[in-house]
Structure 1
Amino acid sequence: MFDSKNNLPATGYVRLPQIIGDRKRGIPGVLPIGRTTFLTGVKTGKYPKPVKLGARSVAWRVEDIRALLELIGAEA
Structure 2
Amino acid sequence: MNDRNKNQTQKYMRVGELSKYLGIGKSTIWLYVRQGKITSKKISSYITLFDVEEVEKALLQ
TM-score range, shorter chain: 0.5 to 0.7
What is the TM-score of this pair, normalised by structure 2? 0.68
State the 1:33 CA deviation. 1.6
Give the gaps of 5 or more residues in structure 2: none
Give the gaps of 5 or more residues in structure 1: 22-28
In proportion to residue count, which structure has more strand?
A: 1
| Regions of 4+ moved over 4 Å | none
Decide which structure has the larger Cα Rg and report it. Answer: 1
Greater relative CO, 1 or 2 (CA 8 Å, sep 6+):
2
Q: CA RMSD in A?
A: 2.2
Percent of aligned pairs sharing the same letter: 26
CA deviations 1:7-30 (Å, max 9, x no partner) are 522xx3111122111xxxxxxx2x
Instruction: Give the total of aligned pairs.
Output: 58
